[in-house]
Amino acid sequence: MSLANRDLITTDDLSNQEIEAVFALADEMSGSMKEQSNLCQGKIMASLFFEPSTRTRLSFETAMHRLGGGVISVVEMENTSLAKGESIADMARVVGSYADIIVIRHPWEGAAKVVANYADVPVINAGDGGHEHPTQTLCDLYTLKKERRTLEGLKIALWGDLKYGRTVHSLAYALAKFGANIHFRPSPGLEMPKHVIRKLTTEYAGILEKYGNLKEGGEEGLFPLDAIYITPSGPHQLANIPSVGIQIELEKGVDALYVTRLQKERLEPAAEGKESEKSYPVVDKKLLKEKGFRETIVMHPLPRVDELAYEIDADPRSMYFKQAARGVPIRMALIALLLGAKEVDIPQGKGMAFTQKRDYPVYKRDTGVRCLNKNCVSKQETETRYIKPVFQIVANDPLTLRCIYCEHEIHPQYIASSKWHQGIVEKKRYYSANSFMLGRIQPENLIIFGSEDEALARGFKPGKRAF
């Protein structure tokens, strides 16, 4: 099967079977690096890094060079026409005419999706703001598979900045897809975003058990726990651990501890960063001596700051430098597949399905409903000239819209129907989104307002029975 001309913007862009195929090709390539030097000869990769990067950028560029291809690159937005006010769409069209594949890192969430929409070549997301980082997740899963032989049923603790850490967002989705159990250990105030939790609990097979600030295992406890995402152990089985058995489950420890640094560049206001630094958890020798960590491998996407002690570098359980090294064969395999230089056999229907994919209605009327995430690409002045807000309607109680670019959610308060008034001013009525009227309006007729003032400005009057 060919993956040629595909984009990789989120972890959901690859099925489990396709991910396994990338791993198999990475294994093949890592054992014969010199033999891959003609695979992408004559091909050019555009390496567009508008945020600082060492491992991701260099591993991508190394991967392309080892495949025999060429690289054109940009680092920092100030060195491009984007600094002059050029739109991402125009840049994508131009760069797509120069290169055969584009790798982009950008501070705006959803920027990679926009590039993929406008470039006529495959696009790989190398990190878009605090949204996702799918190729880092491929490296993470590859390391877990190498060290633990399987992904299904593993217990993985996500540690540190779960709010702004894009690597843990992508990894959480992928772990859920493969049937792992996830322990959330955020630094206070840096918990996993609500929209990530909603996606985990509605589109994958597991459930979330909240435990507040539970101290695991008594005096020899592992760490304060925020929540556990639990997957089923068999088809059609409810994913659950009885409350009486949760302590036993926790005392067994975790298979891997995935540590992340405090994302200072995304914190605000300044006081939030100072407070977070004071309480940020540290992984050191003392922690790894605890019972629950004796067999635990330690992972980190790097760079590290103070959250990972240098004293554990020599510990055989420390995997973060292996993770970084494995980035080259993983990215070699991915580039070769997307460029059509390699094809792989992808078995269909292998293993359990831990996803519950939903076909959500799409809302894209220009009625003033906007994403509230100020770091979303759809909120940027240079991009609003051509990007129109588009949302998925992911829930009705309460009405919840998910931005298709950054996946943040909004909960609008006012609705109307395009069908009922049919252009007759006297019949234009708006209603509370929490009223029974929402259930009576077909998605294709739904009008959603960002505020009551907007509804009034557009000539709608308040409905009498639905407030």
Question: Rounded CA gap, 415 and 438, in Å?
Answer: 7
The pLDDT assigned to 249 comes to: 55
Question: Rounded CA gap, 320 and 309, in Å?
Answer: 12
Helix, coil or strand: residue 109? strand
Strand pairing report for 256-259 and 155-160: parallel
Concatenated DSSP letters of 383-429: TTTTPPP-EEEEEETTEEEEETTT--EE---EEEEHHHHTT-GGG-E
Answer yes or no: same fold for 11-131+324-338 and 135-321.
yes
pLDDT tens digits, one per residue of 97-136 = 999 999 999 999 999 999 999 999 999 999 999 999 999 9
Concatenated DSSP letters of 8-51: BSSGGGS-HHHHHHHHHHHHHHHT-GGGGTTTTTT-EEEEEESS
Question: Rounded CA gap, 67 and 85, in Å?
Answer: 35
- Kindly tell me if the per-residue pLDDT of 399 is higher than 60: yes
Instruction: Give the residues across from 159 on adjacent strands.
Output: 185, 259
11-131+324-338: CATH, from 3.40.50.1370, 3.40.50.10490, 3.40.720.10, 3.30.1330.60: 3.40.50.1370
143, two tokens: 């390391």
Element spanning 63, H or E: helix 55-66
Question: Rounded CA gap, 165 and 76, in Å?
Answer: 20
Residue 227 has phi, psi (to 5 degrees) of -165, 165
How far, rounded to the nearest angstrom, does the alpha carbon of residue 43 sit from its chain's CA centroid? 28
Residue 105 has phi, psi (to 5 degrees) of -120, 135
Amino acid at 34: K
Nearest to 198 by CA among 389, 387, 362, 360: 360
Mean pLDDT, to the nearest integer, of 355-360?
82
Mean pLDDT, to the nearest integer, of 124-149?
96
Are the beta carbons of 142 and 334 closer than 8 angstroms? no
Q: Is the pTM of this model over 0.75?
A: yes
The pLDDT assigned to 208 comes to: 82
In this prediction, residue 219 has a pLDDT band, given cuts at 50, 70 and 90, of very low
Is the domain spanning 135-321 CATH 3.40.50.2300? The answer is: no
The pLDDT assigned to 220 comes to: 42
Tokens 């831990």 belong to 354
Nearest to 143 by CA among 122, 167, 163, 161: 167
How far, rounded to the nearest angstrom, does the alpha carbon of residue 174 sit from its chain's CA centroid? 9
- Kindly tell me if the per-residue pLDDT of 143 is higher than 80: yes
Concatenated DSSP letters of 120-131: SS-EEEEEETTS
What are the strands, taking DSSP E only, across 85-145?
101-106, 123-128
Nearest to 237 by CA among 260, 205, 283: 205
Which CATH number is 362-462 given? 2.30.30.20
Nearest to 48 by CA among 125, 137, 129: 125
Helix, coil or strand: residue 143? helix
What are the domain boundaries of the chain? 11-131+324-338, 135-321, 362-462
- Kindly tell me if the per-residue pLDDT of 273 is higher than 90: no
Question: Rounded CA gap, 188 and 278, in Å?
Answer: 10
- Tell me, what DSSP letter sits at residue 290? S
- Kindly tell me if the per-residue pLDDT of 380 is higher than 60: yes
Question: Rounded CA gap, 44 and 36, in Å?
Answer: 16
Tokens 């050191």 belong to 284
pLDDT tens digits, one per residue of 172-217 = 999 999 999 999 988 888 999 999 999 998 898 788 877 654 444 4
Residue 403 has phi, psi (to 5 degrees) of -65, 130
The angle that helices 134-148 and 166-177 make with each other, rounded to 10 degrees, is: 50
Instruction: Give the residues across from 227 on adjacent strands.
Output: 184, 210
pLDDT tens digits, one per residue of 325-339 = 999 999 999 999 999
Taking every pair of C-alpha atoms in the chain, what is the biggest distance, in angstroms? 75
| Sign of the torsion formed by the C-alpha atoms of 112, 139, 268 and 188 | positive
pLDDT tens digits, one per residue of 59-78 = 999 999 999 999 999 887 67
